[in-house]
Structure 1
């Protein structure tokens, strides 16, 4: 339930604990009286002051992602994430943070397997509109990952980060001892059959090594899992997967759809790395 995660939230203004107001509209109200109303779609925007310089995903990019993930293409990845999170989310009272939750598809699979409470954060309100609809029992927050998280110290059992930025010091602060951070990144050759011709961004050399280096001050690398998913994609699928990622900020949706319209069954392989880190 939504209320299960609220005690672990902290006000971004005063860092005081929140309570949940049942009046309409539903509100998060801290002990000092700072109040944040839920949007009609069910998420809360906690950003204050200058907002963020981070470029949020657009409504079109989010729609492409929702269509692609909703078709089940990355279901094996969602199951693998849930499998790695389950050992620390097996009892009532546990809490999972989906950092960069997007449309909430990966979090949905985690919650289907565990009794955990959940917090999903993302910078895109367009993504959270869909994420809140898919995971109505989670607290879905507009937030900037580069700021201190609006979450209490050592209150989270698992953090999942799927193709999203990471803030290791903040993850270490909010994670309980023995908790897990599960980070998903693309591997070299990811969707190589379609990447170049659709304008998808290349995988940077040494990406996996830099991830480990950035996390090792705070966590221990417990496991590295390479997962390959064979896909059969139609033209609309190809356009969606190209447009839903970072390249979507630079591509034209109409042009992608036009260029892939004749495709009916293209074989491609999605290549992922799941890096599992544990807190001391």
Structure 2
């Protein structure tokens, strides 16, 4: 695993530093107290302790997401994140260009709830000096995230719990349609770092909600996001990004299958309702991208 990422990881049991070890062809991360965490042959490391409280997205949901994202349908989100990351990490990029060996020349970008890693990969493509860590509770997702980009490291972790990262180790945090752990995000984010949060806007997928019986966007979503970060972060800016998609019936089914409505939708009933929509199906993608800094930090604080 890339040493620049491993150096910022911490043992989830004792919080000591981790190092990669190879024993009999097996690879693992181990701390000085000999707590050991296997690196799966698919490339991700399991940094959970005890039983996972839930298993995250299923293999079917992850497969649906991978198919939909690879078609470029959510590239508007990836592009917005890449642009915001390029701005947030401009100083780090300049440092890396001047002296690639300098401390901080390779900022760490952490995606908490990374899924397949596609958005993180887009950010790393936009910021060549950065390295990335994909955190997720879903093993099927991490198998894909580990291969999403050469500079991505993937780790199984419950983002509701203590994150397996050193204090102030992270230059940029991504949180896309995922739970927010405000206290832990604050702990791991470096002074001058930024948190980018993507949430659905009120009209996200609005054409499908009533027609297919999908879960509606919570009208109090913005208030809930603010509450989850209160006392830890200050919002710098919010932008809304929209794009109209033209989808086939199977693509609509895939879109539903990759999101939270998949847990509440009968596949046979969904297929019947999708057929009634006809083709093509026009669907609005609408998301809010919030940029946050640590509470008490000024906009110009260095990372």
SS of match in other structure, 2:141: helix
Partner of 2:9: 9
8 Å contact from structure 2 (residues 180, 228) kept in 1: no
Partner of 2:243: 229
Deviation of 1:198 (Å): 2.3
SS of match in other structure, 1:8: coil
Partner of 1:105: 118
Partner of 2:101: none
8 Å contact from structure 2 (residues 76, 242) kept in 1: no
Partner of 2:301: none
Give the root-mean-square deviation of aligned CA atoms: 1.7
Whether 1:266 aligns to 2:277 is no
Pair member with larger Rg: 2
The verdict on how the C-alpha distance between 1:254 and 1:70 changes in structure 2, with shifts beyond 3 A counting, is farther
Deviation of 1:258 (Å): 5.0
CA distance in 2, matches of 1:229, 1:25: 46
8 Å contact from structure 1 (residues 199, 242) kept in 2: no
CA distance in 1, matches of 2:58, 2:268: 15
Normalising by structure 2, what TM-score? Answer: 0.87
Q: Which runs of 4+ in 1 moved over 6 A?
A: none
Partner of 1:25: 26
Aligned residues: 279
CA distance in 2, matches of 1:211, 1:128: 25
Deviations 1:136-187 (A, max 9, x none): 5322111111111110000000000000000000000000011100000001
CA distance in 1, matches of 2:86, 2:22: 31
Partner of 1:213: 227
Deviations 1:79-104 (A, max 9, x none): 10111112333343200000000011
Partner of 2:300: none
8 Å contact from structure 1 (residues 195, 242) kept in 2: no
Partner of 1:278: 293
The verdict on how the C-alpha distance between 1:37 and 1:269 changes in structure 2, with shifts beyond 3 A counting, is same
Whether 1:249 aligns to 2:250 is no
8 Å contact from structure 2 (residues 181, 228) kept in 1: no
Deviation of 1:242 (Å): 1.1
Normalising by structure 1, what TM-score? Answer: 0.94
8 Å contact from structure 1 (residues 231, 269) kept in 2: yes
8 Å contact from structure 2 (residues 253, 271) kept in 1: yes
Deviation of 1:22 (Å): 4.6
